[in-house]
């Protein structure tokens, strides 16, 4: 048994306990040194064996990116080194446009390509959902319309080429079809969960942790499942920078009378003119206004 340092991929973690996949695809339970850990799923790490069945993470390699959310009290990381984000919404239950916008802004600020997936388009409310997403398609945001359960083969044909050769995180509230999507694209998902649970010596998989799946035997196409969330804080973004992460606002930035315009009340604001003209949707502007208040408010603690 070699105890020489080697490089691995973090495929699941909980507290200080992680599952690291080595270069041969073998998975081993690893701990971090010290009480605090900053590893996340998707990290490349330097680790070494401490026994036949366990290892120790020595170092986290530099990241290309990190998707996370941050509120006043804590920062919650989703995953690192991502190529794509799939934000899953559904015809039913009705999605929160605020949460959708927040996820898109977080991805934009991290430099990660994001696509919206509208699921359950076989249901009667599909047209109303399309209309709510119209401002996003109008600003160049890709929206994929799927019925993961109703038309699984068609959904698979749309998603497979899009996700090939990439590490893709699936994000969305419960009830939108995340599990259906995972099982559709990862036929042995339960087997992978079992393997990881065994490595962690835990009896069952819970949705409170982020989980890395391989969609292919060659380990080129990765799908990462994330736990649901109720809130999506963006405290990592300064209020004056907010508009630069909103594609429908961007064409008007730099056109305002004042260089430090907040786009809320100033005279000669090009963004407010665009809202009046219908070039920026009222719902998107309302979310911007709410986010500005949230991000500029002093901490409560």
- Rounded to 10 degrees, what is the CA torsion of 74, 80, 83, 89? -40
Q: If you write DSSP's letter for every residue of 132-197 in order, what string do you get?
A: HHHHHHHTT--EEE--TTTSHHHHHHHHHHHHTTSEEEEE--TTSSHHHHHHHH-TTHHHHHHHHH
Residue list, annotated binding site for Zn(2+): 256, 261, 263, 269
Distance CA 147, CA 122 (A): 6
Evaluate whether 281 touches 256 at the Cβ level (below 8 Å).
no
**How far lies 223's CA from each of 31, 170, 226, in Å?**
24, 7, 10
Distance CA 271, CA 17 (A): 48
Q: If you write DSSP's letter for every residue of 226-279 in order, what string do you get?
A: ----S---BTTS-GGGGGGG-TTTGGGTT-SSSTT--SSS-TT-HHHHHHHHTS
Task: Read off the tokens for 43.
Answer: 């990290």
Residue list, annotated binding site for GTP: 119-122, 172-180
- Torsion sign across C-alpha atoms 279, 254, 264, 290: positive
Residue list, annotated binding site: 119-122, 172-180, 256, 261, 263, 269
Task: Indicate the burial class of 265 (C-beta count within 10 angstroms; 0-12, 13-18, 19 or more).
Answer: exposed
């Amino acid at each position: 048994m070699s105890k020489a340092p080697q490089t691995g991929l973090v495929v699941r973690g909980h507290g200080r306990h992680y599952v690291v996949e080595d270069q041969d695809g073998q998975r081993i339970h690893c701990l971090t040194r010290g009480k605090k850990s900053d590893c996340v799923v998707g990290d490349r790490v330097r680790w070494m064996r401490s026994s036949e069945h366990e290892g120790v993470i020595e170092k986290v390699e530099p990241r290309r990116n990190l998707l996370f959310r941050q509120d006043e009290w804590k920062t919650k990381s989703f995953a690192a080194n991502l190529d794509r984000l799939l934000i899953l919404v559904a015809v039913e239950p009705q999605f929160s446009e605020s949460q959708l916008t927040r996820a898109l802004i977080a991805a934009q600020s991290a430099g990660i390509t994001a696509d919206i997936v509208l699921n359950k388009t076989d249901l009667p409310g599909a047209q109303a959902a399309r209309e709510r997403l119209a401002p996003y398609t109008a600003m160049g945001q890709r929206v994929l319309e799927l019925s993961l359960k109703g038309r699984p083969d068609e959904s698979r044909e749309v998603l497979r080429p899009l996700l090939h050769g990439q590490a893709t995180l699936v994000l969305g509230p419960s009830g939108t079809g995340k599990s259906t999507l995972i099982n559709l694209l990862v036929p042995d998902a339960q087997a992978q969960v079992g393997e990881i649970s065994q490595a962690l010596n835990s009896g069952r998989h819970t949705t409170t942790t982020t989980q890395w799946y391989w969609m292919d035997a060659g380990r080129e196409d990765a799908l990462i499942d994330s736990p649901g969330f109720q809130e999506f804080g963006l405290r990592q973004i300064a209020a004056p920078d907010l508009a630069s992460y909103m594609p429908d606002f961007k064409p008007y930035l730099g056109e305002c009378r004042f260089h430090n315009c907040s786009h809320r009340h100033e005279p000669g604001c090009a963004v407010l003119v665009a809202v009046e003209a219908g070039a920026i949707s009222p719902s998107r502007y309302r979310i911007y206004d709410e986010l500005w208040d949230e991000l500029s408010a002093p901490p409560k603690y």
